[in-house]
Structure 1
Amino acid sequence: MKQKYLPLIIAVALSSLSASALASGYRFGSQSVAAQGTADANAAEANDASTIFYNPAGLSRLDGTQLNFGATVVVPHSTFQDTGSTHFTGAPTGGTAAHGYAPDAVTAPSLYASKKINDQWTAGIGLFVPYGAKLDYGSTWTGRYALDNVKLQAITLNPSASFKLNAHHAFGFGVMAEYFDADLGQAVDVPGTIAALSSPLAAAQNAQLRGTIVALGGNPQVLATAHDAHASINGKDWGYGFNLGYMYTLDANTRFGIAYRSSVAHALKGDAYWDFSMVSTDQITNQVLAASGHRLNSAALVKLRTPETLSVNVFHQFNSQWDGMADLTWTRNSRLQDLHIQFPNTKEGDLVINQQWKNTVRLALGTNYRYNDKLMARAGVAYDQAPVPNAKLRDPALPDSDRYQFSLGAAYKLSPQSTIDVAYSYLNFKNADTSYANSCSPVIPTCTGNGETTRGTYKTHLQLLGVAYNYKF
């Protein structure tokens, strides 16, 4: 009777934020304020040291020593309208709809540095947040048996270098060290289980349960008013990968780029905790319910590989004032298929979760306009696919859907050495229906969840505010 909360940690690593996400899945889409101003279309521009993330070959275009400090604030607006969520018994789950379940704001910092070593070599290092999510539906919402809260964060350290072969060809490479930290929880459907035991088919189990409670000095009468229990988990892991880039400079005004970011192997280790203390006022009954459901605190392990990305991009300067740019990124989200959850040092077998994510593409178009020597304006638009294939596979931890991004930005030179970047983006998600179900019941020993079906519609839009400071030595 294991809960399905463990797969949520897995999903963090699989390229892609939920209702507080920028790019599809849990992947945090903005790694640079300058890039955000063009809807992340400027990978071939190589405007500052953040090119480490978008295309490390772009380091070859940076002179001297450069630093970039930035932060993006995500302000989500999300609601969930329930359309008939049910227990595994088919009865309504009750509770409240989740209005405004996403946090008020989430801030993601970034730090990049580059140094030109000689005419051919440039080195750099980046520190950024590639994945993240933070949702709190509350303990009484209608889909609480699927999830009630999740907080996910990843931090990546990315040393990189570029080699400029000649005036036309430049290559880049880097290594990635990613750290994940995840906390999440869900309600345990004790009322539904008791209701199922009250049926004629479960009379023997019901009698045995009540007899055990009485034998231990408990009061089985409290079963009639039992509340939910709660499960929570935390997990941490380091994983390693690499990124590659190539940039072809056609002339002083035009260049093309190709960038690849590898998958990362992870062995996510966590601990599962069960809290039955709030089920009833009789703690003996609570303990018997926990024991009968095999709700034991234990370790958990999931081995997986995150999806890789491949991007192609172009930049062209039309004249002294206008630039145009585009980026097309493919993400191999289909790596998220069958997930095997292991419970080391226990007699429990693996649990297998099938998410069936699909590969996705993101297309971004952007422009720069130089108003004068000090001020440059930016704008961009992007379309991003979601990896979730249909409503039946839209988990409350990732109520993702296709979205459009509209961005504006500006760069102002404070001095010949320093620049301030600002950006604003609006992301509009398509309304997302869900009918996420566990095809099991918590009274079945091999169950991978509470057996509930979460039905409803998500409505989400986001606003992003970014600011960054650049300094050249």
Structure 2
Amino acid sequence: MGGVLASLALAMVLVPGRASANGFELPGASTRALGRGDAFVARSDEPTTLLYDPANLADLGGVQLNLNVNNLITHSCATLTGAYPDGTPYPKVCNSGTFAPVPQIAVSWRVTDKVGLGIGIFAPVSPGFSQKFGSSEKGDIPPGLIDVDVNGMTERRAAPTRYQLIEEDLIVLHPTIGIGVALNDRVRVGFAFSSTIVLNKFTTAVAAFGGTDPRNDIVSKINVHDWFVPGITMSIHAVPIDSLDVVAAFIWRDKIRGKGDISLWPLAYRNVGSGMSGMNMNEGFQKFSGARLTAGYPWRLSFGLRYASRIVPRIKDRAAAEKASGKVEDQMKNERWDIEGDIVYSGTSEVDAFVVRPPAGMVSVDGIPIPLPEELTIPHQWRNELSVRVGGDWNVLPGRFTMRAGFSFENGAAPKSLTNLDFQPFRRYGIHAGGTLRIKRTDLSLAYAFFRNENVDLTKTRAALPQIVGVPNTAGAVVNAGRYRSWYNVIGGSINVHLR
């Protein structure tokens, strides 16, 4: 049962932060940002500036509506070291999660020459949205079964990765409101408030008495929610000369305090293996409510520096200029090209351990009552993470068509010894490209990014992720030795309408 609540902790920590690479999500919260390597802190020229630099709300023209969808395709495989009880080596297990679209909407309004407002609902791009490592796609009961070659014959067996993750479906929303104020022609400041809403279903396996014999496993499925995790963003945007933007931004988020229901199926794989089919999942079913989780959340500090080759000087009275020209007056029209470099430092060392307090109760396994622990401390030992993003736009036809490209790098937050499939904050590289076509007052943007995690090969001597055991005070086997390979494809599309 301890493992079930450990899974609750892990699932909640999968909730990503806003527009950041703080160990929980992929760079590129909007399509334009995705296409230029997420080097967007100092460029953000659409309502998604709420996520990067709320100070720039004071510079956006008129009223803008942004509709954005990023689509995530995940490829993640693990070949664990070890074998089933009959000596059959563990096979490679790959994520079979579905195509995961991530929609967003935001509106900005420049109220006066010096004040801009913004509001939006955002959803981060995270590998945790939809993952399945051995699942019930073929109608298996219990879930978590895969095809295994046993002496030339195919059998359905429990996936060796089941102690890390079987299935996950994660929904995260960030309602956000912000304000930007121009102190003068050269300096703007901004503030945004957001809340995180989390809905998560998470399935994993727990060893009832220890060991890796699947016939002694408990399958656990949790439904958790946290309706309110407040966060703030502060930024300052300086324009020392017309061609240069300098931005500093800071994001803080409160601790995660989750509540959830936990469903358990003891000995779910008792009849699986050696060609036998699964059991009735209603047999021995138990459900518990009232589990609580407390977990730290990383802060984030961003610095952005952008240089632009300008066609005309910066426009001070944008409304008057647009009225005179009859066109949108912005970076796409008034610059030839730009290049930006961002450095993001995330306080991911806040994710050192998760503290879980389960409800009072007992789970029965083969007639043996196992009490739920009063508290579980689950170590993660994450270190602070550094990210670098470089990218830019080239206005091929100023005011009509733009191409962009970029590169991103994250040095990784989690020690390799604690590698886990439910989220993999390894060292990561990203290659990005995109473009925007303007039709009158509507911008149509597309972007693509390929992210490659570093390869991780863990020997038994280096691996250190312990299996959680149902019996209290019982040490579990190390369950993460093996080979890990993963990469992600993200395709983004957006419509940005300049309403007035």
Report the TM-score range of the alignment, normalised by the length of the smaller protein. 0.7 to 0.9
Structure 1 residue 35: Cα displacement: 0.9
Match of 1:250 among 234, 240, 248: 240
Q: Is the 8 A contact 1:31 1:110 kept in 2?
A: no
CA distance in 1, matches of 2:208, 2:280: 10
In the alignment, structure 1 residue 343 sits paired with structure 2 residue 343: no
- Give a deviation string over 1:72-113, Cα, whole Å, max 9, x none: 1112222222233789xxx979654213x1424211111111
Counterpart in the other structure of 2:25:
27
Relative distance call for 1:102 and 1:326 in structure 2 (3 A) is farther
> Is the contact between residue 174 and residue 242 of structure 1 (CA under 8 Å) also seen in structure 2?
yes
* C-alpha RMSD of the superposition: 3.0
Partner amino acid, structure 2, of 1:103: G
**Cα deviation per residue 1:317-367 (whole Å; 9 max; x = unaligned)?**
124422111111111110111221102345731011100001101101111
Q: Secondary structure at the match of 1:334?
A: helix
The CA deviation at 1:457 is 1.4
Classify 1:22/1:432 alpha carbon distance in 2 versus 1 (closer, same or farther; 3 Å).
Answer: farther
**Structure 2 equivalent of residue 54 of structure 1:** 52
- Aligned counterpart for 1:114 among listed residues 102, 108, 112: 108
Q: Take 1:66 and 1:440, find their aligned partners in 2: how far apart are those partners?
A: 50
1:432 is aligned to 456
Match of 1:207 in 2: none
- 8 Å CA contact 1:186–1:230 kept in 2: the answer is yes
1:135 to partner: Cα distance: 1.4
Cα distance in structure 2, aligned partners of 1:45 and 1:130: 19
How many residue pairs get aligned? The number is 426
Query: In the TM superposition, what are the counterparts of 1:34-113 in structure 2 within 5 Å?
Result: 34-84=32-82, 96-99=91-94, 101-113=95-107
Asked if 1:379 corresponds to 2:369, the answer is no
* C-alpha distance after superposition, 1:240-284 (max 9, x if no partner): 111111100112211100111112232100111111374557xxx
1:273 corresponds to which letter in structure 2? S
The residue number in structure 2 matching 1:364 is: 389
1:107-137 Cα offsets, whole Å, 9 max, x none, are: 1111111101111111011211136412110
Specify whether residues 143 and 191 from structure 1 end up closer, same or farther in structure 2 by C-alpha distance, changes over 3 A only.
Answer: farther
**What amino acid sits opposite 1:234 in the alignment?**
N
Cα distance change of structure 1 residues 94 and 446 upon mapping to structure 2, 3 Å threshold: farther
Alignment TM-score, normalising by the size of structure 1: 0.82
Q: How does 1:70-219 map to 2 (within 5 A)?
A: 70-84=68-82, 96-99=91-94, 101-130=95-124, 132=126, 133=128, 134-138=130-134, 139=144, 140-189=158-207
Residue 442 (structure 2) pairs with residue 418 (structure 1): yes
Change (3 A) 1:228 1:301: same
Is the 2:66–2:106 Cα contact (8 Å) retained in structure 1?
yes
Aligned partner (choices 474, 490, 493) of residue 467 of structure 1: 493
2:347 pairs with 1:332: yes
SS at match of 2:51: helix
Cα-to-partner distance string for 1:433-460 (whole Å, 9 max, x where unaligned): 3465455773742348x54522211111
Once residues 169 and 190 of structure 2 are traced to their aligned partners in structure 1, the CA distance between those partners, rounded to angstroms, is: 33
Is this contact kept in 2: 1:2–1:447, CA < 8 A? no
TM-score by length of 2: 0.78
Change (3 A) 1:352 1:440: same
Name the counterpart of 1:222: none
Partner Cα separation in structure 1 for residue 119 and residue 21 of structure 2: 23
SS in 2 for 1:382: strand
Alignment-derived partner of residue 147 in structure 2: none
Q: CA deviation at 1:422?
A: 0.9
1:307 offset after TM fit, Å? 0.9
Question: Aligned partners of 1:48 and 1:440: how far apart in 2?
Answer: 46
Q: Mark the CA change 1:447 to 1:234 in structure 2 (over 3 Å): closer, same or farther.
A: farther
Give the unaligned 5+ runs of structure 1. Answer: 196-224
Higher helix share: 1
CA distance in 1, matches of 2:131, 2:390: 30
Matches within 5 A, 1:205-284: 226=215, 228-237=217-226, 238-276=228-266, 278-280=268-270
Contact 2:261–2:287 (CA<8 Å) still a contact in 1? no
Determine the C-alpha separation between the residues in 1 that align with 2:212 and 2:456. 33
Distance 2:114 2:467 in 1: 60
In structure 2, do the counterparts of structure 1 residues 314 and 438 end up closer, same or farther at CA, with 3 Å as the change threshold? closer
